[in-house]
Amino acid sequence: MNPQGRPSLAMKASTIEGSWAQKCAVLGAVIWAGVAVLARIGVAPIGAIELMFLFAPLVIVPLGMELARIIGGDTPLARFARRVQPVAAALAVAALWLPPGRPAGGLACAWMAVCLSMTIAAIIDFSSLARSRPDSSTRSTIHRITLAVAQLDLSVGGAWLVASRLGLRPMGIQEPIGLLTAVHFHYAGFATAMIAAALLQFAAALRQDYRWLRWLVAVVIGMPFVVAAGFVISPQLKLAAAAVFSAAVAGLAVVLRSCAKRLESNTARVLFHVAAISVFAGMVLSTAYAVADFRGSDVLPIPQMARTHGILNVKG
């Protein structure tokens, strides 16, 4: 506030950015619901996995972008990404509407550009903070690393979306694994890392020295890459990484639920509980799928996992 009691320009700008993110997420939810209805009645050639992915660019990512601005930093490149996000998300819908090929891949590149912008902005912000505050605490360093990794996950997910829509088969990976990898890095990567970064800041605000939380967050942000590598390197690595990652995210869900007790808003407490329970249940299913897949069992096929584990993760 200035001496006259009027909101400062910075406060006004922050309010405008928050309103923009909220409007983008609400509009994205409306578009996603419309596409889901069209898919249900057979008009849109979009399946459950495509719908699961589209909820990320339309709803999850704009909210995550705003969270990154609040708990991290802001740069012109990040502001550019937030402004073009609605258009790029709409083009992602069009890319998944079309069959794989150059037109679909070209449309998906728009979303990839947004993801790359966020990643580059995060790297620039991380580098500038590291130079200006080289003696910062371990807690602060892990917080910044978590935010940077979250943005990196976006670019990896965006690259897999482009590969999927172009009809490419990197390293011989067939569909729907290619698109599921894009889903993986948007949810298990970006969204989960953003929640982890927010929890770190929440613990810092309470002046709690949760050293174990930092280790938990380190596992959460690192394991998505190991899980993805397991698909290429070995089934044993894939099983072990999936089990460790599921356990870490389930632990994060338990921490999230415990944080609900400290919130003043009843609505926020309810949403925290729903999110924590949904994610915990989703991680139980992911562990069961990893074990079944390793043993060659089809007790949990991918379509069923998309309808159960996928929906729980999206809600969480």
Packed helices 138-166 and 192-205: angle between N→C axes, nearest 10 degrees: 170
pLDDT at 267: 85
Read off the pLDDT of residues 104-149 as tens digits, 9 standing for 90 and up: 999 999 999 999 999 998 888 777 765 666 555 555 778 888 888 9
Q: Is the separation of the CB atoms in 185 and 154 below 8 Å?
A: yes
Read off the pLDDT of residues 136-183 as tens digits, 9 standing for 90 and up: 555 577 888 888 899 999 999 999 999 999 998 887 778 888 898 899
Q: Is the separation of the CB atoms in 287 and 253 below 8 Å?
A: no
Report d(CA 113, CA 68) in Å as an integer: 18
- How many CB atoms are closer than 10 A to CB 171? 7
Report d(CA 311, CA 305) in Å as an integer: 9
Whether the upstream peptide bond of residue 176 has omega within 30° of 0, thus cis, is yes
Is 190 inside any structural domain?
yes
Tokens 């990484």 — which residue?
241
pLDDT at 212: 80
Task: Please compute the mean of the pLDDT values over residues 12-39 and round it to a whole number.
Answer: 85
- How many CB atoms are closer than 10 A to CB 128? 12
Report d(CA 10, CA 251) in Å as an integer: 37
Give the rounded distance of the alpha carbon of 283 from its chain centre: 15
CA 82 to each of CA 143, 174, 179, 195: distance values in angstroms, whole numbers, following the listed order: 21, 32, 23, 19
Which range among 27-41, 72-86, 104-118, 205-219 shows the weakest confidence by mean pLDDT? 205-219
Read off the pLDDT of residues 262-281 as tens digits, 9 standing for 90 and up: 777 888 888 888 888 888 88
Residue 64: give the domain boundaries: 9-233
**Stated pTM of the model:** 0.84
- How many CB atoms are closer than 10 A to CB 194? 26
238 or 87, which is more confident? 87
Distant-in-sequence, close-in-space partners of 13: CB < 8 Å, separation ≥ 6: none
Q: Around 77, how many Cα atoms within 13 Å sit in the side-chain half-sphere?
A: 14
What is the percent of the chain where pLDDT is above 90?
A: 32
Is 74 inside any structural domain?
yes
Is 26 inside any structural domain?
yes
Is 93 inside any structural domain?
yes
Residue 3 pLDDT exceeds 50 = no
Is 287 inside any structural domain?
no
Is 226 inside any structural domain?
yes
Tokens 């409306």 — which residue?
30
Task: Please compute the mean of the pLDDT values over residues 49-76 and round it to a whole number.
Answer: 90
Q: Where are the alpha helices (DSSP H) in the chain?
A: 9-40, 48-55, 61-71, 76-97, 102-132, 138-166, 177-184, 192-205, 211-233, 235-259, 266-294, 302-305, 311-315
Helix (H, G, I), strand (E, B) or coil at 264: coil
Is 303 inside any structural domain?
no
Is 206 inside any structural domain?
yes
Q: Is the separation of the CB atoms in 281 and 241 below 8 Å?
A: no
How many domains is the chain built from?
Answer: 1
Tokens 């356990």 — which residue?
247
